[in-house]
Amino acid sequence: MEQNEENGGGTTSREEQEEALVALIEHRTREVKNLRHRISYYKTQLDEAEKRLQDSESKLARLRGQTNAVLSRTTIDDGIKTVKTERRSNSPIDRNEGFSKNQHQSKPELLIPSVNPKISQPVLLPKSSAKASISSSSEATPGVHNSPITGGSSRGNSDKSQSHRLSSEQQKTEIKDKGTKRKFEQKEHKELIPLIRKSSSPSLIHCQTSNHISSQHKRKLRSIALCPVNDQLFVTSALDGVVNLWQVQAKGAGASRLSSTDCASQKQRRWPEDLAWHPEGNSLFSVYSADGGDSQVSITNLNKGQTGERVKFLEDKPHVKGIINGIVFMPWENACFVTGGSDHAVILWSEQDGENKWKPKALHRNLHSSAVMGVAGMQHKQIVLSVGADRRIFGYDVRAGRADFKHQVDSKCMSVLPNPCDFNLFMVQTGTHERQLRLFDIRLRNTELHAFGWKQESSESQSALINQAWSPDGLYITSGSADPVVHIFDIRYTAHKPSQSIRGHQKRVFRALWLQSIPLVISISSDLNIGLHKVY
């Protein structure tokens, strides 16, 4: 009996060792495969970059040859200056839009921001400044000693441990510099497209609890946006023109309003149509309307107290009419954002020297034949996606100054959203019932990877105010709906219906965002409440 027990124990031990080795081999196999893919990806990028360099050099050589033939009596320096002038005048953007008056910049410099990133001081909200920035109606959480933007962030603690030998002032700059660089370097491409429609059953997200708090807005909510450096901070806007700054508390059990700011436009007192955080997380950008010469873009400085200028309106007004439907910062090294409007235009705003100086440049005005409803930027290429009510989807190559691809779908498009992990995957919201969401691969022309959607119980109309969000792992999509539910889609699921739905509001849901720091989904609804849904 004892011998049998010993033999059985030895067999169990060997099985456990075998299982552990099998798991280790699978892990290291995936690691090798991932590294090989990265090597292949960067080789491809290098080949493309070399081809573009050779193409530019050959064009420059041809231009110089033509100029020298015409201006043979001029000096070499004068000839070079003339060539540069001709190149600027031949640019379709310079010829048609005429936004830039600086005659010393070449075409690539006009299209994209400066190559050298600016190192700015970190966002700091000390107690005195934080109290000054909170209005009389705000409800700050007592006992919060850290800065809401920098405090509680694991990235800030990691940076401090790496730069502890520096002086305090140098350390702050180093922290900000490293945080900016890591934001771009840490994002790693993952192949998710092969997983689409590969599972006959969805992987369900378990919603543990749902809590609701008052938005404290007087009119219906319009939008919500998470802070890019600390996603436990978020803002909400509504038709009352007010923007509220919130902080998630108690691991998602609640949220406290930190401040309330009147962000209505200067002339017509319009509410913000859309919001976008600056990548550094210290300011908020809002867009309005181009009608009546009203303000088009405002910047809300979240560190300004009541004595400072909290909201600043940009002077430039590149959109010519109608509502500006979307604003989004590009996921590139240099800070720039894109706006899309009802005037069919897509405008790129690049940061200039000086505080809050932004220069608009029209990427295109005539590609869309109707209102541009959504804009976005691809992670690995300087391509701006735009979708419109004309049922068109464009990918515009900023470096080349032309459209890279065009898709045509069967109904109007209302928003576009790239996947956070697979840099070739993006999603478009359309107006087709039960096929509202479409997945596309940027490398494939006119090919739809998958389409899914939902049935509406309350209304037959599609709303452009209802938007989607990707989960941090890129495998799930949350969507609002005209009904009081949050729909969740698993891109691996073969069916066209939601993998599950969370009923968490009394009226229609506009949007539901995933947090990365804690397992929480935050939703906004026309019932004037904010939903906090704990998921796992």
Domains plus CATH for the chain?
Answer: 222-465 (2.130.10.10)
Segment 474-486 shows an average pLDDT of 93
Q: Does residue 152 carry a pLDDT above 90?
A: no
Mean per-residue pLDDT for 174-195?
61
Query: How high is the pLDDT of residue 145?
Result: 33
Judge whether residue 66 has pLDDT over 70. Answer: no
Q: What is the pLDDT of residue 461?
A: 65
313 backbone dihedrals φ, ψ, rounded to 5°: -105, 130
Mean pLDDT value across the chain:
79
pLDDT tens for 394-412 read 999 999 999 999 999 999 9
Alpha helix positions (H), 248-407: none
Q: In this predicted structure, what is the pLDDT of residue 404? A: 95
Whether 518 shows a pLDDT value over 80: the answer reads yes
pLDDT digits (tens, 9 = 90+) for 426-470: 999 999 989 999 999 999 988 999 999 998 777 666 677 899 999
Count of other CB atoms within 10 angstroms of residue 72? 8
pLDDT band per the 50, 70, 90 thresholds, residue 68 = low
Contact, 430 vs 412, CB < 8 A?
yes
Percentage, residues of the chain above pLDDT 70: 73
Q: How confident is the model at residue 186 (pLDDT cuts 50, 70, 90)?
A: low
What is residue 153's predicted lDDT score, i.e. its pLDDT? Answer: 40
Give the C-alpha separation, 350 to 102, whole Å.
14
Residue 523 pLDDT level (bands cut at 50, 70, 90):
very high
Encode pLDDT of 266-279 as tens digits.
998 999 999 999 99
- Of residues 165 and 324, more confidence is placed in 324
* Closest alpha carbon to 232 in 298, 162, 171, 146: 146
Tell me if 385 sits within 8 A of 373, measured CB to CB: no
